[in-house]
Amino acid sequence: MRGAMMHAPGDVRVVDRDEPVIEEPTDAVIKVVAACVCGSDLHPYRGVEPVNGPTPMGHEYVGVVEQIGADVKNVKIGDFVVGSFWASDNTCEICRAGYQSRCVHAVLMGTLGAQAERLRVPLADGTLVATPGQPDEDLIPSLLAASDVLGTGWFAAVAAEAGPGKTVAVVGDGAVGLMAVLAAKQLGAERIIAMSRHEDRQRLAREFGASDIVEERGDAGVARIKELTDGLGAHSVIEAVGTQESMMQAIRSTRPGGHVGYVGVSHDVALPGDELFFALVHLTGGPAPVRRFLPELIDLIWKREIDPGKVFDLDLPLEDAAEGFKAMDERRAIKALLRP
Amino acid sequence: MRGAMMHAPGDVRVVDRDEPVIEEPTDAVIKVVAACVCGSDLHPYRGVEPVNGPTPMGHEYVGVVEQIGADVKNVKIGDFVVGSFWASDNTCEICRAGYQSRCVHAVLMGTLGAQAERLRVPLADGTLVATPGQPDEDLIPSLLAASDVLGTGWFAAVAAEAGPGKTVAVVGDGAVGLMAVLAAKQLGAERIIAMSRHEDRQRLAREFGASDIVEERGDAGVARIKELTDGLGAHSVIEAVGTQESMMQAIRSTRPGGHVGYVGVSHDVALPGDELFFALVHLTGGPAPVRRFLPELIDLIWKREIDPGKVFDLDLPLEDAAEGFKAMDERRAIKALLRP
């Protein structure tokens, strides 16, 4: 089959790869209907993370079940399924508490390479959620978004305790930040401040529910958030970048007693203990347990109550995966969908 | 009046100080019945924090109201009162949300010096809570504990979401850690693991409700907590020290999705963003909003349902304040009560 591999920073190629097979009785193999390029895929692409030899790429996927292992009970051949970027058993104590991304048996899907024609999904019963039927074509981008960026933005909004009466600020205007705006809106936030200096992303943020746009960054961005919140800071702040500057911007934009939900993968971040201490905020984040939210998100998409698929502004055949990476790296695209 | 002053690290003297007076119409002046030495008072004593000239000491106090400003309505002359170590208006948006230690008008009581015969309390209406009547003598240490160490330990236990069905680990066997054990017990925790290598503190921890004692520290301590919790880590971990080692020990002892409540004043702590990210824990802490809990804590003490005053193992006249500091610094005492 064909699949995308990263050979070195900046070097993504679609090549022939071995067909995945059932390796464990809990596996499924799906025919990938759509996959995409993640902001975190840009970390090795940009050399921020090492590339240790040719690596299969992609961890976001929707598709149709083609094979199942002997122990798989919750999905059947022919089901259209959405899965998270972490495979999880969904039965261990950590999963049952809602933290499936740290399942005791968690497998990172990125190591398997979802930007391909087929994908082996470990722990299929715990990982995959079947849609109520075969989706209309126009729902596919939204269902794909649920696999990571929507689920991650949703977790960030939940972690930040976005909800009625709350002012929410979102640091980061990438796909996850934009999805967090949508999530905050759905969760009933009163006011949603998107921090962005790009006109196309500002427009999308407003479509997803942002009431205010702040273009300033760093200290100036913090000062602007304080101005908009009677000098107190936002109740809920979502961090969707992962740098030292963005984390400190998020923490400093939060009022005492407020909540920071952070989902940007941390790179070279060190949080100063004294500042964090006196900030008196709640800090929650990490790899999003998307599986917790999938049934609810699929339901909202199926009923057409949300349209997160709008975050894909580039739609390419799988063969053009390299262009998807390039367009996102150059910020010509917010998020690239790939169709095998 | 007489009051304790720190002149330099290791140099505490009881000297003549000016009598406090009503400076603002929202002030009260109280006759201090009991004050004490705080673990955080040891930071300048040990030179961990600078001493900028002679400084009044003490921020924990109970006493009787002697004077009130024209605007004070909630306490009257003759009331026996307990206050927090932060003066707060208790009416601003931050206070109403329960974070009085970051009140928009907060005043740090430490700057006023509670280890003295009298104390000016700013924002008396928001800061002081009157007891139901004049307390029996034996209740005074417990009421004094509510002023800081009990309130701080309680906040840590609440921040760590200690409660029914939860395994709670407490890092730090100082007065605050011991009070956190008591708080976790009151909040209904199923299992409480106190981390201590001092026999007297272990004994007190058991009296306050600890079910297990772990003597190991650092990585060995983390491994022991994991052993005791099916390899997962504790649901709730309380950090009551404030060093890099203790913070990392707390974070690493917490299961994914669990809660860390930290109240040790941070010194030279830098939290590595990547480890914190993948830990997927909730981190909440800072200067405890003790005022939030005072009515409930006074009620529990008044009904003799808790006896936090046992944490004081040294009872001295105010004139011997220097010995109180010395005994705590040398770990001969857990906490020293001072009587003017």
CATH number at residue A38: 3.90.180.10
> Of A241, A257, A285, which marks where a domain is finished?
A285
ipTM score: 0.96
Nearest CA in chain A to B239: A277
Do B64 and B194 sit in the same domain of this protein?
Answer: no
Question: Which residues of chain A are at the B interface, by a Cβ-Cβ cutoff of 8 Å?
Answer: 93-94, 97-99, 101-102, 104, 230-232, 242, 244, 247, 255-257, 262, 265-274, 276-287, 289
Predicted pLDDT of residue A111: 85
* Domain housing B294: 2-148+289-339
Say if CB A185 and CB A214 are below 8 A apart.
no
Do A296 and A276 sit in the same domain of this protein?
Answer: no
Do B199 and B280 sit in the same domain of this protein?
Answer: yes
The nearest CA of chain B is from the CA of A205 a distance in Å of 26
Residue A130 exposed, middle or buried by CB count within 10 Å (0-12, 13-18, 19+): middle
**Of B256, B270, B284, which has the smallest distance from its Cβ to A99's Cβ?**
B256
Average pLDDT per block of 10 residues along chain A, 340 residues long? 97 97 98 96 92 94 98 98 96 98 95 96 98 98 98 98 98 97 98 96 98 97 98 98 97 98 93 97 98 98 98 97 97 96
What is the DSSP track for B211-279? SEEE---HHHHHHHHHHTTTTS-EEEEEE-S-SHHHHHHHHHTEEEEEEEEE-SPPSS-EEEHHHHHHH
Do A77 and A94 sit in the same domain of this protein?
Answer: yes
Do B192 and B171 sit in the same domain of this protein?
Answer: yes
Phi, psi of A283 (to 5 degrees): -120, 115
Kindly give the parts of chain B with pLDDT less than 50: none
Tell me, rounded to whole angstroms, the distance of Cα B204 from its chain centroid: 17
CATH number for position B213: 3.40.50.720
Q: Which residues of A fall within a CB distance of 8 Å from B242?
A: 273, 277
Predicted pLDDT of residue B111: 85
Predicted pLDDT of residue A267: 86
Predicted pLDDT of residue A110: 83
CB spacing of A230 vs B93 below 8 angstroms = yes
Q: Which residues of A fall within a CB distance of 8 Å from B274?
A: 266-267, 269
- Runs of H (alpha helix) within chain B: 42-45, 93-96, 124-127, 140-146, 149-159, 175-186, 199-208, 218-227, 244-252, 273-279, 290-302, 321-329
Predicted pLDDT of residue B261: 98
The nearest CA of chain B is from the CA of A185 a distance in Å of 22
**Of B101, B232, B273, which has the smallest distance from its Cβ to A280's Cβ?**
B101
Do A278 and A319 sit in the same domain of this protein?
Answer: no
Best A283, A291, A292 member to test B by mutation, with max B CBs in 10 Å, is A283
Do B159 and B139 sit in the same domain of this protein?
Answer: no
CB spacing of B283 vs A283 below 8 angstroms = yes
CB spacing of B257 vs A281 below 8 angstroms = no
**Of B94, B256, B272, which has the smallest distance from its Cβ to A270's Cβ?**
B272
CB spacing of B102 vs A282 below 8 angstroms = no
Say if CB B179 and CB B308 are below 8 A apart.
yes
Nearest CA in chain B to A248: B273
Total structural domains in chain A? 2
For chain B, what is the radius of gyration of the CA atoms? 19
CB spacing of A267 vs B279 below 8 angstroms = no
Do A139 and A240 sit in the same domain of this protein?
Answer: no
